[in-house]
A = this chain, B = another copy of it.
Amino acid sequence: MAPLFSRLVVAGVGLVGGSLAAAVRAAGLAGEVVGLGRSEANLEVACARGLVDSATRDVRTAAAGAEAIVLAVPVGVCAPLATSLRPHAAPGTILTDVGSVKAALVASLEQAWAGVGPVVGGHPIAGSEASGAAAARADLFRGRRCILTPTPASDRAAVDRVRALWEGVGALVEEMPAPVHDEILARVSHLPHLVAYALALTAGEREIDGHSPLEYAGSGFRDATRIAGSPAALWRDVALANAGPLGAALAQFRTALGRLEALLVAGDAAGLEAALEAARAARRRLGRGR
């Protein structure tokens, strides 16, 4: 069977890009997988680990002959990178991405790629706090969801090829409008990040009688704020790119927290327990996960 793509470029060979490259190679989905990156050291790791067939820091070398380009760089860097790849891309080259915000990003990619080829927005829901090619692993997407967000402008054949790519690496692919994706992810990802950052600030900014509260944090606090260890520039861009839905999620969260506080202030033990139990039931629907 012929591979899906003769030459696939993965721009950004970090945890997500590197894992995709490795999985594509393992599954034989592309004739050739080329990694494009900025850090020589990281590209050397990618080559040494066999994540890619070849690696380059040059957009011209990368784009030449590419059938599809996957942008696996931070959300704020996607459109500028597409613009610099554009002059070197062959007509018809598919552009897709892995960004965790979609509507604004896909619109900017469609603009940057206009007249070149199809754009397909994508978001594999997988990752961890680890980063870089050293953390990449070919099974990262197995059994995980990957959301594609075609627009009315999307080429159906291109969407199907990108779908086949993600299904080929084991992901459960689903299509939905970008604004729906953004509303959902605002609630389960972007809001929790802002909240975790705010929790870390609250515990870190003020001493209590000469003690830093952080010194007394246990495993609960550690878990609750783990994502506040994520790179600030990356989440700054995600938050700004999804400001509308994130604002709505913040309002909903503030209402939920305010409800709990009102029960607390009222000393309403039964009401508070019922509300906490409802929250616990929601959380338990997730299971323990991996």
Taking Cβ atoms with an 8 Å cutoff, the residues of A that contact B are: 125-128, 145, 147, 176-177, 180, 183-185, 187-189, 191-206, 208-209, 211, 213-233, 235-237, 239-240, 243, 246-247, 249-250, 252-254, 256-257, 260-261, 264-265, 267, 269, 272-286, 289-290
Contacts and interface: CB of A to CB of B under 8 A. Distances in A.
Contacts of A206: 252
Given A240-B267, A257-B195, A273-B233, A211 B176 contact: yes
The 7 closest A-B pairs by CB, nearest first: A204-B282, A232-B276, A197-B279, A198-B257, A232-B277, A228-B283, A200-B283
A203 B282 contact: yes
Given A228-B280, A240-B267, A276-B232, A253 B197 contact: no
Counting chain B CB atoms within 10 Å of each CB, the highest count among A126, A192, A208, A279 belongs to A279
A98 to B, nearest CB: 13
Contact of A256 (B147, B201, B220, B267): B201
Given A188-B221, A211-B180, A218-B189, A236 B127 contact: no
Contacts of A261: 194, 247, 250
Given A184-B208, A236-B269, 7 more contacts: A127-B219, A191-B199, A195-B195, A223-B227, A228-B279, A229-B284, A254-B254
B224 A203 contact: no
A282 B201 contact: yes
B176 A188 contact: no
B253 A202 contact: yes
